[in-house]
A and B are shown apart, each in its own frame.
Chain A
Amino acid sequence: MTHMLPRLRVWTQRMTGDWMIWSGGIVLAILALLTITLGLNPPASAQTGSLLLRFQPPAPGGYLLGTDQLGRSMLARVLAGAPWSLGIALVATTIALAIGTPIGLIAAWVPGWPRRIIRMLVDTVIAFPSLVIAVTVIALLGRGFWPLAMVLGLATWPIAARVVYAEAMGIMKRDYVRAAVLAGVSGPLVVLAHVLPALRPTLMTMFAFTFADMLIAESALSFLGLGVPLSAPSWGNMLSDSREYMINAPWMLFVPAGAIVLAVVALNLVGDGVTARVRRSGGRA
């Protein structure tokens, strides 16, 4: 398609793709840095506050993002919540891709009953609302960082498997893969040395989008009271807290909502940017 477009269009497309990756990437890098430095060692005002200073509106001189119902700094709390929210999303995404990628590759490489079983399993799980299973399992296993990350990752791997399967099927039709097979290279080696590297852009895009989905799912579950422990300052818990004080302190809604949206938009930018670059270069990132 691209060759039919005027040069200018191609150039703006390239710039758009790169611009998206850069802006999203910079935001994510800043978020990651803040999470590692301040998020893991939050100021004391994240957990203790003075009731005299409750519901302080955001002010440049005082509390930059205001205070909550217990007089705790919203800025400190949103930072302290980052390791919870981003950490759970990161672990869940890693689990989903670590399980989904090999299973998708096996389905693509081994025809016959392994492929049929995997496809049926994957289609079945994908067709079910994962949040429904997640709330039930969390209610039984208990709240917490690891249960939540595990449940989200285990509920999401079929999506990764399906994407990897579809993409790998396309890659296996490429000439260099066929040539390797004809030259007698063993199956696992072809998959590891030729198919997997070609999947890199797909995996990058999928990582970004899955990460965004997991962040949303984590905050949704915490918002419902079925996520992280109720005392943890995760972004979903902060949203949940804000509901009682909407009239007094709307910033209690805006601060965690803003943090979630900022991270999700940055991840979507990176994901879409990589997709745009791949489309432009015809398969390589």
Chain B
Amino acid sequence: MTRSRAIGAALGRRGIELLILLFGISTLLFFLLRLSGDPAAVLAGDEADPETVALIAARYGLDQPLGVQYLRYLGSVLTLDFGNSLRSQTDALALVMERLGSTLLMAGLALVVTALVAVPLGAWIGARPDAGSRHAVNGIVFVIQGIPGYIVGLLLIQLFVVELRWLGSIGNAGPLSWILPAVTLASFLAPKMVRVIAANTSEAMAEDYIRTARATGASDWTLLLRHALPNALLGATALIGTQFAFLMSGSLITEVIFAWPGFGALLIASVERLDFPVVQAAVFVIAILVSLVNAVTDVAFSLIDPRLKGATA
């Protein structure tokens, strides 16, 4: 298969997956919402009298048959019209998009921290995994991998905010306040990444082409940096794509812990107050974002992979 066709096929597959996902999620949310109680009562609030509830039901079309409601709902979802937030009466999608930048900033920083930690550490362990000190470090990474990311966040707050009083822990107050949430979010991904890069590197170091390069007199450093590591990083790139969904789960809880103004914190707050237009918009934006990242890594992967380089476009 040629490269451009491979890219086209990958993008097409992602597109179809995204459509199925969005359809599935909207259907699930629609019926769950009906299952959990009368949406009109939720909309009206706890103290509303029956007349108000009926009025609201009529206004939102909630007095129509379920099938009609469902079709109408799918139509509005199709045009990305989620309605207004029940709380602030502003457009739900706009509320979510307002927060997109903060979430992306945090995800980007977390990926940078992950790369800064995982690439050198993974390469170092993977170059000679049997050396005693590296065995020990590998063991430490193993234990750290067992610490859930949000517990890392709580421990960081305990250490740097409560005990040492070096940093604040609330909201976005400039680059200094980015450190703890970024490290917390990175800790969801970094230990796994270290282990993958270490395993890939040590595997690559045992390959024939490394032996050939060694025979031609290449130094250990050249072998590692020029030959083994690029191969190891290729696998790690693919991991970012598949783990991005996990990173989004992580950012949900990280944003809550640090009161970070992203859409993860917004989603949790909206879920708690049953503000469904916002929940729906946030879930949609997350689904589209994850699909985009996966599509981009698919394309990047096929562009970087030297085994596909010979293929004519």
User: Which positions in A face B, CB cutoff 8 Å?
Assistant: 1, 9, 120-121, 123-133, 135-137, 139-142, 212, 216, 219-220, 223-226, 239, 242-243, 246-247, 250, 253, 257, 260-261, 264-265, 268, 272
Beta-carbon nearest neighbor of A257 in chain B: B151
Contact with A along B7-40 (1 / 0, CB 8 A): 0000000001100110011001100110110000
> With A212-B146, A223-B253, A225-B272 in contact, is A260–B151 under 8 Å at CB?
yes
Contact with A along B229-267 (1 / 0, CB 8 A): 000000000000010011011001100100000000001
B148–A123 CB distance below 8 A: no
A127–B294 CB distance below 8 A: yes
A239–B17 CB distance below 8 A: no
Q: Smallest CB–CB gap between B93 and chain A, Å?
A: 16
A131–B17 CB distance below 8 A: no
With most chain B CB atoms within 10 A of its CB, the pick from A1, A128, A260 is: A128
Q: Smallest CB–CB gap between B253 and chain A, Å?
A: 6
In the complex, whether B154 has a CB less than 8 A from a CB of chain A is yes
B294–A268 CB distance below 8 A: no
Beta-carbon nearest neighbor of A16 in chain B: B135
Contact of A132 among B147, B283, B294 (CB under 8 A): B283
A1–B154 CB distance below 8 A: no
Contacts of A226 in B (CB 8 A): 268, 271-272
> With A135-B252, A224-B256 in contact, is A261–B286 under 8 Å at CB?
no
> With A133-B25, A246-B157 in contact, is A127–B148 under 8 Å at CB?
no
Bound-state CA distance A60–B275 (Å) is 48
Contacts of B249 in A (CB 8 A): 129-132
Q: Smallest CB–CB gap between B165 and chain A, Å?
A: 11
In the complex, whether B187 has a CB less than 8 A from a CB of chain A is no
In the complex, whether B155 has a CB less than 8 A from a CB of chain A is yes
Contacts of B268 in A (CB 8 A): 135, 224, 226
In the complex, whether B179 has a CB less than 8 A from a CB of chain A is no
B290–A128 CB distance below 8 A: yes
- Compute the total of residue contacts between A and B using a CB distance below 8 Å: 120
Beta-carbon nearest neighbor of B283 in chain A: A132
A127–B271 CB distance below 8 A: no
A129–B286 CB distance below 8 A: yes
Contact of A220 among B148, B155, B157, B267 (CB under 8 A): B148
Beta-carbon nearest neighbor of A272 in chain B: B142
Contact of B245 among A126, A216, A224 (CB under 8 A): A126
A-B contact pairs, 15 of them (CB 8 A): A127-B245, A128-B245, A132-B267, A135-B267, A135-B268, A140-B33, A223-B150, A224-B252, A224-B256, A226-B268, A239-B151, A242-B154, A253-B158, A257-B147, A260-B148
B147–A261 CB distance below 8 A: yes
A243–B154 CB distance below 8 A: yes
A141–B32 CB distance below 8 A: yes
A127–B291 CB distance below 8 A: yes
Contact of A257 among B25, B143, B155 (CB under 8 A): B155
B154–A257 CB distance below 8 A: yes
B157–A139 CB distance below 8 A: no
Beta-carbon nearest neighbor of B143 in chain A: A265
With most chain A CB atoms within 10 A of its CB, the pick from B162, B206, B271, B283 is: B271
- Majority DSSP secondary structure for residues of A touching B: helix
B248–A132 CB distance below 8 A: yes
Q: Smallest CB–CB gap between A36 and chain B, Å?
A: 23
Bound-state CA distance A223–B16 (Å) is 35
B17–A253 CB distance below 8 A: no
From residue 39 to 62 of chain B, which have CB atoms closer than 8 A to chain A? Answer: none
Bound-state CA distance A124–B17 (Å) is 5
A268–B142 CB distance below 8 A: yes
Contacts of B287 in A (CB 8 A): 128
Contacts of A243 in B (CB 8 A): 154
B24–A124 CB distance below 8 A: yes
In the complex, whether B170 has a CB less than 8 A from a CB of chain A is no
B206–A220 CB distance below 8 A: no
In the complex, whether B63 has a CB less than 8 A from a CB of chain A is no
Bound-state CA distance A96–B113 (Å) is 33
Contacts of B151 in A (CB 8 A): 239, 257, 260-261
Contacts of A219 in B (CB 8 A): 148
Beta-carbon nearest neighbor of B206 in chain A: A1
